[in-house]
Chain A
Amino acid sequence: MSTQHSRSAAKLMIAPATFLLFVWMLVPLVMTIYYSFQRYRLLTPDRRGFIGFDNYVNFIDNPAFWSSMGNTLLLVGGVLVITIVFGILFALLLDMPMFGQGIVRILVIAPFFVMPTVSALVWKNFFMNPVNGLFAFAAKALGLQPYDFLSQAPLASIIGIVSWQWLPFATLILLTAIQSLDSEQLEAAEMDGAPALSRFFYIKLPHLSRAITVVILIQTIFLLSVFAEILVTTNGGPGTASTNLTYLVYAKSLLSFDVGAGSAGGVIAIILANIVAIFLMRAIGKNLDS
């Protein structure tokens, strides 16, 4: 169908993008792996040398690593559960007939466009601050003791902030999916006397399953790398109570200047992300075929 000429032109047009992405992926990856086997501290750069798996052993044999793994899992899992459960409920609600639907959509989607540093600071200062935050005022008005969210429950607070940022994304995607549902099927079920709850479980939820999968996978990719929210609220503390893997690697490499250990952590993060990525690629690849 296409001529030889247009084929070679096509290859030429793909080349820059492919080449750049190839370099962008390969060079840093090779360097990270190389550094991960080196003793390399920026403060004593002349004492460099090959040390085998020592960086990995030291990185893993550290209580901070295991707590960061736990925190990463809790953060990703917590945000996923919150955003998907409420995302489904909101999407179902927004799909119903109402006045001013467009405006409600705009209100609900807004947090997604707020940059992470802003949303973290807004929640930290205006809401969670134990002296001047709105939650503290509310607690005092009810005669309760104000709660210091970010030092008493740092991880849960960050989960809350991140959920607020991602709820719009889940809602919007699930709403788009619900709206693509064939209404005849629902009407038929309604005529046959199927109650609302079974219409939801037997028609809507199965229809949503693919959108839910996509939400889970894409959010997981982003949530594994949550960084700014932790940096401006707790700095990973108190102790390592809110340090995730991304923050731990940052702290090792750019705060303790230990390039070797940071790189070992980076390689571990890459391996974890790849496990998730395999599932994501499968789901999206399926769509490409259809």
Chain B
Amino acid sequence: MARAISTRRKIGITALAWALGLLIFFPILWTFLTSFKSEADAIADPPLFLNFHWTMENYFAVQERSDYFKHFWNSVVIAGGSTLLGLIIAVPAAWSMAFVPGKYTKDVLMWMLSTKMMPPVGVLIPIYLIFRSTGLLDSKTGLVIVMTLINLPIIVWMLYTYFKEIPGEILEAARMDGATLREEIIYVLTPMAIPGIASTLLLNVILAWNEAFWTLNLAASKAAPLTTFIAGYSSPEGLFYAKLSAASIMAIAPILIMGWFSQKQLVRGLTFGAVK
């Protein structure tokens, strides 16, 4: 008897949760559907949900008109490049803070975190002027540098929380066996650290991909990533709903898929290990 009631309850909760989940997801779903409509169907009144003529033409039109692949490649270079560069700088730092903590390790960590509190708009002008005079404005190199620096504290922190969980005894055992620092890193630490590094990489690609303050202000055309590409659809092309939808889906799809795989790391990374 009790079981029957709890099953009914479970079905009720399921229905409510699914309804709310779909409601939150609806804008993305609607954009996805609209991207396969003709422009006339996209603004039909009453709106067409599934019963329209499906077409891929918007995707080709977007590529032809605003060169999606160029912007996609810029996003890949900026998000991927800054993450890799960040990891190269952060892995040694996080490694030494986790395994050879000194008197000031905690202070250094907190200080690194504090640089993240600097509102970007507070340093927009100097960066803009420096970039303008050094030719870094609207260049992928410039954006990779900025993205690396703004995400470096998060990368160090995430790696630090992961490295902390690797038992230090294993390293000491390796040291006793006469492993050099280099060998210790390559043969002992790296295999154990790979999952943490992979999660850090994933989260940072997502953050850099979606970053829209520096990219909008520093990259107008040549180095413009997808954030800027979409902003270009603000007007008047925004009135072409089907094409805007196709462009939007093309901009968010890669990261949406990556994001779904990184839910757990997301919590940990964005709270600097405060919630796990």
Partner pick for A121 among B126, B230, B266, CB 8 A cutoff: B230
**Chain A, 1-29, contact with B by CB distance < 8 Å: what is the 0/1 string?**
01001110111011011101100110111
Given A109-B263, A254-B217, A269 contacting B100 (CB threshold 8 A): no
Given A225-B213, A270-B118, A287-B274, A10 contacting B241 (CB threshold 8 A): no
Contact assessment for B96 and A32 in the assembled complex, using a CB-CB cutoff below 8 Å: no
Contact assessment for A227 and B213 in the assembled complex, using a CB-CB cutoff below 8 Å: yes
A25-B118 Cα distance, complex, nearest whole Å: 8
A98-B117 Cα distance, complex, nearest whole Å: 39
Contact assessment for B27 and A94 in the assembled complex, using a CB-CB cutoff below 8 Å: no
Q: Cβ of A28: which chain B residues have Cβ within 8 Å of it?
A: 122-123, 126-127, 130
Q: Residue B221 at the A interface, CB < 8 A? A: no
Smallest beta-carbon distance A264→chain B, Å: 10
Q: Cβ of B20: which chain A residues have Cβ within 8 Å of it?
A: 90, 93, 104, 108
A78-B128 Cα distance, complex, nearest whole Å: 31
Contact assessment for A137 and B46 in the assembled complex, using a CB-CB cutoff below 8 Å: yes
Contact assessment for B21 and A108 in the assembled complex, using a CB-CB cutoff below 8 Å: yes
Contact assessment for B259 and A113 in the assembled complex, using a CB-CB cutoff below 8 Å: yes
User: What are some 30 contacts across the A-B interface (CB < 8 A)?
Assistant: A21-B153, A24-B149, A25-B118, A29-B122, A31-B129, A32-B126, A93-B16, A99-B10, A104-B20, A108-B25, A112-B259, A115-B210, A115-B212, A118-B251, A123-B27, A173-B275, A221-B117, A225-B119, A225-B121, A225-B213, A227-B216, A228-B216, A232-B234, A254-B217, A262-B124, A266-B123, A281-B114, A281-B117, A288-B106, A288-B109
Given A35-B125, A132-B241, A269-B121, A121 contacting B13 (CB threshold 8 A): no
Q: Cβ of A97: which chain B residues have Cβ within 8 Å of it?
A: 10, 13
Count of chain B residues with a beta carbon within 8 Å of a chain A beta carbon: 96
Which listed segment binds B: A46-54, A151-159, A188-196, A245-253? A245-253
Q: Which residues from 1 to 56 on chain B have a C-beta closer than 8 Å to any C-beta of chain A?
A: 10-11, 13-14, 16-18, 20-22, 24-25, 27-28, 30-31, 34, 43, 45-47
**In the complex, which range does the number of interface residues on chain A fall in?**
35 or more
Chain B residue, CB-CB nearest to A103: B21
A123-B128 Cα distance, complex, nearest whole Å: 30
* Interface of B: prevailing SS: helix
Q: Cβ of A98: which chain B residues have Cβ within 8 Å of it?
A: 10, 13-14, 17
Chain B residue, CB-CB nearest to A167: B24
A169-B121 Cα distance, complex, nearest whole Å: 23
New contact pairs (11) apart from A14-B93, A288-B106, CB-CB < 8 Å? A9-B100, A16-B89, A20-B149, A29-B118, A35-B125, A96-B13, A103-B21, A126-B245, A225-B119, A249-B121, A273-B117
* Interface of A: prevailing SS: helix
Chain A residue, CB-CB nearest to B270: A218
Q: Residue A73 at the B interface, CB < 8 A? A: no
Contact assessment for B17 and A214 in the assembled complex, using a CB-CB cutoff below 8 Å: no
Which of B31, B252, B271 has the most C-beta atoms of chain A within 10 angstroms of its own C-beta? Answer: B271
Q: Cβ of A274: which chain B residues have Cβ within 8 Å of it?
A: 117
